[in-house]
A and B are shown apart, each in its own frame.
Chain A
Amino acid sequence: MLCEECREKSAVVFLKLAVNNKVTELHLCPACAAKKGMGFGLETGAFNISDIVGNMSGYFKDFLPVEKKTLRCGACGLKYSEFKETGRLGCPDCYAGFEEQLTELMTRIHGASRHSGRVYRGGPAPKLSKAETARRLEELRAALKDAVAKEDFEAAARLRDEMKRSDG
């Protein structure tokens, strides 16, 4: 049997994979198997097959609603188009930034768009290192400058309050 990847050498690596609740078989030559990073993993099955069978991103591409290109998360700056590409959000605030789109996606993935499990009451503010506190202040300062330049005084006031809080 020929290797399914290069179709040149004969396949000696036979893999049975459980993907999307179907058992599929894959036949590869040693060189192609090694290329897929299965050198060691072959012995135990502990390797990632996302590059063989296509990862989640394809899934999201099909299901996510089309959006204008400019949509991005206000907190971490992740573009909605990047999320569509990778299937990964950038930060917890992305959920608010892309709420409308995610509501639709959640319904497709989970069959529901509202959490009804345990309610979390919130934990304490962590004791951040000086470096992290400084980094966050710097971020806020830049955002404040930006808001003032755009004459978005509401945002500026909010950012100023936030800076006061994190400085204290």
Chain B
Amino acid sequence: MADLSKSFRPFVTWAGARGAWPDMIFSTRVRFARNLRGFPFPNRAGPRQLAEIRRLALAAARETGLFPGGHYVKMETLGPLERRFLVERHLVSHALAAALLPAGAAISGEEDLSAMINEEDHLRLQCLSSGFAIEEAFKAALKLDEALGRELPFAYGDKFGFLTACPTNAGTGMRVSCLAHLPALSRLGRMPQVLESLSHLGVTARGIYGEGTYVLGDFYQISNATCLGRGEEDFCGSIDRVIRNLIRQEISARETLVGDPFRLKTEDAVFRALGLLRHARTLSYEEFMQNLSLVRMGAALGWAMGADFSTFNQVTLLLQPAHIQAAAGRELDPAGRDAYRADYLRGKLG
């Protein structure tokens, strides 16, 4: 079984439910797409050039001093479970984990800062913060960007800004996203209209793992759809306004769910979900997430759910398949994982 997971902390700081509205905003992420001048983009670079880019990037990352207790990872040295572990941890993308050519990542000990190397772009720099914390995440990501930009020559032009493999990321190269938990809007069937209205605001909603992933446990990643033509703070401000608006809508949906005629039905659904999570003997991750969504909402409504948001957030990460196997210390088949997951959760939900 993967050794890599052992070097990661059992408590994931950015999922610690700190910050504003931890019941609705799981985490905030700011990422910058950057490339090195003088090299082709990863899709057109050969193995040697990719290795060279990674060597330069890892050395520069160390030089910044921003990755204390850091992990410096070469993807091809990792087994499939270790790669999945990093994906589940939101530290590398699915695409990077699938890389066959030289790719890697630099990850700080706290896991708040990371740099993916040779994904779609040479560098994808990200900062993850707990809760609704756009300014905090932006400042930290910018600090990393500026520090690395002093070590390496980024590809940049006055007209198109930071140059990226896909023109959708050029300009600021920035994406600001909040992972929002919207169970009441989902339950009332209002999400289609909400998503529709977001598309008019230059905002995109995706599933929990970002691009091309499906909606799990009523979690939506809300981020800016464009990143050129306006300043970084301006894009941050737009997402900030959209998220505040979403929070207001979710609060109002929750009020609807606890008023007449929905209250009894809502209570019933929430406590049934809690019962299931507390007593199930096998539990798939999807079933866990569906029920956790209701339990999270119950806790937000002030009902006794036997755990706090920090615990909910931690188990959301720690009960994923590769994490379950890391905790078990061995490879498990799906049935084995489902049994282990149910046991593990019973220990956490009192």
Chain A complexes with chain B: yes
| B227 close to chain A: CB less than 8 A | yes
Query: Which residues does B use to contact A, with CB under 8 Å?
Result: 35-41, 43-44, 48-49, 52, 55-56, 84, 87-88, 94-95, 120, 149-168, 170-172, 174, 191-192, 195-196, 198-199, 202-209, 211-216, 220, 226-232, 284-286, 320-321, 334
Nearest chain B CB to A41's CB is how many angstroms away? Answer: 7
A window 117-144: CB within 8 A of B:
117-120, 122-129, 131-132, 135-136
Q: Determine if A45 and B41 form an interchain contact, defined as CB atoms under 8 angstroms apart.
A: no
A window 81-109: CB within 8 A of B:
86-92, 95-96, 99, 102, 105-106, 109
Q: Determine if B286 and A90 form an interchain contact, defined as CB atoms under 8 angstroms apart.
A: no
With the chains together, A50 CA to B95 CA distance in Å? 11
| A149 close to chain B: CB less than 8 A | no
Which B residues lie within 8 Å of A40 (CB)? 84, 321
Show 18 residue pairs from A and B whose CB-CB distance is below 8 angstroms, ordered by the A residue. A18-B215, A23-B192, A46-B209, A50-B212, A56-B166, A88-B165, A102-B160, A105-B167, A106-B171, A109-B168, A115-B157, A115-B158, A115-B170, A118-B232, A120-B154, A124-B151, A127-B56, A136-B38
Residue of A nearest to B56 (CB): A126
| A10 close to chain B: CB less than 8 A | no
Q: Determine if A48 and B334 form an interchain contact, defined as CB atoms under 8 angstroms apart.
A: no
Which A residues lie within 8 Å of B174 (CB)? 117
Nearest chain B CB to A28's CB is how many angstroms away? Answer: 12
Which A residues lie within 8 Å of B44 (CB)? 76, 78, 90-91
Q: Determine if B159 and A21 form an interchain contact, defined as CB atoms under 8 angstroms apart.
A: no
Given known A45-B213, A48-B95, contact A109–B207 (CB-CB < 8 A): no
User: Nearest 7 pairs between A and B by C-beta?
Assistant: A112-B229, A115-B161, A92-B155, A21-B199, A117-B172, A110-B228, A120-B156
| A69 close to chain B: CB less than 8 A | no
Which A residues lie within 8 Å of B84 (CB)? 40, 46
| A111 close to chain B: CB less than 8 A | yes
- B-contact bits for A137-164, CB 8 A (1 contact / 0 none): 0000000000000000000000000000
Given known A17-B207, A106-B167, A126-B56, contact A44–B195 (CB-CB < 8 A): no
Q: Determine if A23 and B191 form an interchain contact, defined as CB atoms under 8 angstroms apart.
A: yes
